[in-house]
Structure 1
Amino acid sequence: MGIDAKTILFITLAIALIAGLSLLVESRATRERAQWIWGLGFLTIAAGCGLTPLRNGISFQLGVWVADGLLIAAHILFLMGSARFLRRSMPWRAWLALAAWLPLAAWPADDSQTLAFAVVNAALVAVLALATARMLWRHTDKSDWTSRRLAAIFGLHGLFYLVKAVLVWVPGGFVDIVSLKGIVIQLSLVEGIPVATLLLLVMAASARRRREAHLLSLADSDPLTGLLNRRAFDARAEAMLRGNGAAAMPGALMLCDLDHFKRVNDTCGHAAGDEILLTFASLLRVTLPAGSLVGRYGGDEFVALLPQMDPDSLSRIGATLCARFRTGHRPAGDRVIATTVTIGSAMVRPGATLAALLGEADAAAYEAKRRGRDQMFIRDADMAPQEEAPVRERRCAHA
């Protein structure tokens, strides 16, 4: 039994319309602009499906040139939406697809030319779909399985249209592009149904996953500095110590207290205090080595877990933090604020827990403050946990 082209077109139109409207509605909830662009792509496909029956004795230009051109435009929108989803710029070459399609409007609508429409249309759709798949695959993390699935669907879709462009010349493949007869034409109509359905499901899932990751990030982040908050730092630091094994991870815990911060808030206002906190948070980001875990523990207290760290390297990092923060005066209205930081550090020992390291770093910070602030002290790495916490002095060299 043959495939009823009109029925398949109606089903495809209905799916594309539902997909487009669903993505447009959901984009308002997720605030993901990519979904809005993807939704426009599906609505463009729906419009093309609605125009396709006009090719049969009513209007070749509307039923073939415009309808098939809308399929190309839809895939440009899919590529644009994917670029937006990845926070990347739209490849300008994608617009060349429409430029290649426009001249076909002047071609006569005879049998010798209709195959050209089929070849060019299939080739352009294939290129756009494969470009979308490549972008999604290259610029998403391996753990983002929803985006990887989206890339796979576009990839398979692009390969299908690439084969379709080749099969145009196979006898019986394209019998009549106007009446939609021929095995390749009918397979193409059928292929659109599962592809549209899968794209809708995976696009929605990708946007929801992005939204959930954003909400999780907000829950784990300090709202002012963007660093990890105390709860998130504790959880990740404990996992870091357990996962790497404290015995195999020579590292250090660094506890940073901004000196006389309350005085800054009282005399210059909380806005000035916030600027100082942001300045120190940025300084931590650019000074600490890659792989460090950094958080704001509360108020003017910051904490960092540094893997693969020896006392000498830690001393240099602490000296750099002290010196840069001391010399980085911050204006507050017509006043200039000079601030310093006191740092206490503890070297990671085999079997050390986060609570023990925090206690040792806090004791080291207290000792640093007792000796004059604006400096770092490192607790000796070879001392037993139960011993009193004497520290190795690592004074920051004053300019």
Structure 2
Amino acid sequence: MALDPPTMLTITIALAAAAALYLAIEWRSVREPSLLLWSAGFATITVGSTLALLRGIGLLLIGIWFANGLLVVAHGFFLLGVLRFTQHRLSRAWLLMVGVWFALLLLPAGPEWSKVMLMVNSLLVALLTLKASFLLKPHGRSLSVGAVQLRYVLLIHGLFYVAKAIIAIAPGTLIDLATFGGLIIQVSLVEGAMAIILIALSMTGTVRYRREERIARLAARDPLTALYNRRALEVRATHFFKEVSPARPGALLLIDIDNFKLVNDLHGHIAGDRLLIALSEMMRAVLPERSLAARLGGDEFVILLSAATSERVVALGSQLREQFQQFALQTVPTPQAVTLSIGANLFDQPPASLAALIEQGDLALYQSKRDGRDSIRLVDRTLVSSGS
């Protein structure tokens, strides 16, 4: 079968329909809105390419103007999908493109009509595509392999349409949209079929990476407080301990809520959850740079403090205790005060493990509880190591 323009259009229709269905199926499992917009783009290409075949039976308005207009609309859907994916917004000035396209109806029929139509169509497609490619620029943060691939596929696709617009108005170029006449039109049909495959695969890879990244992020977080869970803390603590030295001591603060059971018994578990969330927000507010916070479970929390001193540890612990006690007193009054007990451990040598460090913090926490709760007990192991 010869790859003449009608055949290439038929292949394009099949590929675009398959890409639209493929992305729609992906959306059902991922629920990423950008997939629906991209799927709509390929569905629009399917309709537009089908209408383009009608020029062969003399329906030029539908087969040329309307069909090419749908090609612009399809790339508009691609841009909207990228906007949704990158969480950017677009100026309303872009709606002027609609007016430009309708203005083509006012052009007089003649030998130059096909050239002007192809040039304007190519420039509009290029503008939308290059904008989408630009929005996928990293902007200071890394992109997934799929997003990088999508960015460059869109970039090459957009530059192709820029070249297409330039060639369209070059002297001596043969272009006849009514009969698919001209080498540039035939090359464009081949490029379009290849672009459909590459863009669809890149779009899917981009969204799959985001889904995997989201799953990994959720797996590392406590679902109630959004702090790290113990497993995630253990992974990050390995890197944290590498930076500990006599010049940059570290500290662990083990935090436990006193009389927390009273809150659940008197006010219900929802009130208890609100208290845990409030404490996690207080911890985030006072957490210095390069430090870590996690919920170990129940009403027990831990902070790993970087570049610590005994004064900083006591000051941070006291600040948390005061803020928390005031909040608990106002929101969940109980016969016995709901306060914080903190066991802290200051160290200037990497510990054997996080578990060993928590065990040492637990001894200090027990001492704080035994001394009447609502207090902080600090064990300064830097003094021990400096004297040995």
The TM-score, its normalising length taken from structure 1, stands at 0.88
* Aligned equivalents of 2:301, 2:89: Cα separation in 1: 36
* Aligned equivalents of 1:207, 1:163: Cα separation in 2: 30
The answer to whether structure 1 residue 67 and structure 2 residue 67 are counterparts is yes
Deviation at 1:290, TM superposition (A): 3.3
2:14 match: secondary structure: helix
Contact 1:264 1:273 in 2 (8 A): yes
Name the structure 2 match of 1:121. Answer: 121
Name the structure 2 match of 1:347. Answer: 346
The answer to whether structure 1 residue 301 and structure 2 residue 266 are counterparts is no
* Aligned equivalents of 1:170, 1:3: Cα separation in 2: 26
**Farther off after superposition, 58-67 or 15-24:** 58-67
Evaluate the alpha carbon distance shift between residue 92 and residue 249 of structure 1 in structure 2; reply closer, same or farther with a 3 A threshold: farther
Deviation at 1:87, TM superposition (A): 3.2
Deviation at 1:172, TM superposition (A): 4.8
Contact 2:114 2:175 in 1 (8 A): no
2:302 match: secondary structure: strand
Contact 2:34 2:85 in 1 (8 A): yes
Deviation at 1:226, TM superposition (A): 1.7
Name the structure 1 match of 2:50. Answer: 50
* Aligned equivalents of 2:333, 2:350: Cα separation in 1: 46
Whichever residue aligns with residue 281 of structure 1, its letter is S
Evaluate the alpha carbon distance shift between residue 126 and residue 314 of structure 1 in structure 2; reply closer, same or farther with a 3 A threshold: farther
**Farther off after superposition, 352-361 or 246-255:** 246-255
Evaluate the alpha carbon distance shift between residue 126 and residue 310 of structure 1 in structure 2; reply closer, same or farther with a 3 A threshold: farther
The answer to whether structure 1 residue 39 and structure 2 residue 39 are counterparts is yes
The answer to whether structure 1 residue 227 and structure 2 residue 220 are counterparts is no
Evaluate the alpha carbon distance shift between residue 164 and residue 362 of structure 1 in structure 2; reply closer, same or farther with a 3 A threshold: same
Evaluate the alpha carbon distance shift between residue 31 and residue 161 of structure 1 in structure 2; reply closer, same or farther with a 3 A threshold: same
1:304 match: secondary structure: strand
**Farther off after superposition, 138-147 or 197-206:** 138-147
* Aligned equivalents of 2:81, 2:371: Cα separation in 1: 58
Contact 2:328 2:338 in 1 (8 A): yes
Q: Deviations over 1:140-194 (max 9, x none)?
A: 8415221121111111111111122222122454421222222222221111122
* Aligned equivalents of 1:357, 1:91: Cα separation in 2: 54
Deviation at 1:340, TM superposition (A): 2.1
* Aligned equivalents of 1:256, 1:137: Cα separation in 2: 42
The answer to whether structure 1 residue 371 and structure 2 residue 378 are counterparts is no
* Aligned equivalents of 1:56, 1:249: Cα separation in 2: 77
* Aligned equivalents of 1:40, 1:365: Cα separation in 2: 59
Deviation at 1:309, TM superposition (A): 3.1
Whichever residue aligns with residue 207 of structure 1, its letter is V
**Farther off after superposition, 249-258 or 43-52:** 249-258
Name the structure 2 match of 1:357. Answer: 357
Name the structure 1 match of 2:259. Answer: 260
Equivalences for residues 157-172 of structure 1 within 5 A = 157-172=157-172
* Aligned equivalents of 1:199, 1:170: Cα separation in 2: 29
Deviation at 1:19, TM superposition (A): 0.2
* Aligned equivalents of 2:267, 2:66: Cα separation in 1: 65
- Structure 1: gaps spanning 5 or more residues: 388-399
Q: Deviations over 1:55-100 (max 9, x none)?
A: 3452222112111111111111111111222233345444332232
Deviation at 1:274, TM superposition (A): 0.6
* Aligned equivalents of 2:174, 2:347: Cα separation in 1: 71
Name the structure 2 match of 1:284. Answer: 283
Deviation at 1:248, TM superposition (A): 7.3
Deviation at 1:3, TM superposition (A): 5.5
The answer to whether structure 1 residue 8 and structure 2 residue 11 are counterparts is no
Deviation at 1:336, TM superposition (A): 4.1
- Structure 2: gaps spanning 5 or more residues: none
Whichever residue aligns with residue 158 of structure 2, its letter is G
Contact 1:79 1:131 in 2 (8 A): yes
Q: Deviations over 1:286-313 (max 9, x none)?
A: 2212333221100001112233333333
Whichever residue aligns with residue 229 of structure 2, its letter is N
Whichever residue aligns with residue 302 of structure 2, its letter is V
2:377 match: secondary structure: strand
RMSD between aligned residues: 2.4
Name the structure 1 match of 2:28. Answer: 28
Deviation at 1:136, TM superposition (A): 1.3
Evaluate the alpha carbon distance shift between residue 123 and residue 255 of structure 1 in structure 2; reply closer, same or farther with a 3 A threshold: same
- Residue identity over aligned pairs, in percent, reads 37
Contact 1:172 1:182 in 2 (8 A): no
Deviation at 1:272, TM superposition (A): 0.7
* Aligned equivalents of 2:379, 2:107: Cα separation in 1: 82
Evaluate the alpha carbon distance shift between residue 326 and residue 118 of structure 1 in structure 2; reply closer, same or farther with a 3 A threshold: same
Evaluate the alpha carbon distance shift between residue 204 and residue 234 of structure 1 in structure 2; reply closer, same or farther with a 3 A threshold: same
Evaluate the alpha carbon distance shift between residue 91 and residue 147 of structure 1 in structure 2; reply closer, same or farther with a 3 A threshold: farther
**Farther off after superposition, 54-63 or 127-136:** 54-63
Contact 1:61 1:105 in 2 (8 A): no
Evaluate the alpha carbon distance shift between residue 12 and residue 250 of structure 1 in structure 2; reply closer, same or farther with a 3 A threshold: farther
Evaluate the alpha carbon distance shift between residue 240 and residue 382 of structure 1 in structure 2; reply closer, same or farther with a 3 A threshold: closer
Deviation at 1:330, TM superposition (A): 6.7
* Aligned equivalents of 1:308, 1:193: Cα separation in 2: 58
Whichever residue aligns with residue 119 of structure 2, its letter is V
The TM-score, its normalising length taken from structure 2, stands at 0.90
Name the structure 1 match of 2:314. Answer: 315
**Farther off after superposition, 372-381 or 186-195:** 372-381
Deviation at 1:139, TM superposition (A): 5.3
Whichever residue aligns with residue 213 of structure 2, its letter is A
* Aligned equivalents of 1:318, 1:211: Cα separation in 2: 37
Name the structure 2 match of 1:80. Answer: 80
Evaluate the alpha carbon distance shift between residue 341 and residue 138 of structure 1 in structure 2; reply closer, same or farther with a 3 A threshold: same
**Farther off after superposition, 230-239 or 138-147:** 138-147
1:296 match: secondary structure: strand
Contact 1:368 1:376 in 2 (8 A): yes
Deviation at 1:209, TM superposition (A): 1.8
Name the structure 1 match of 2:133. Answer: 133
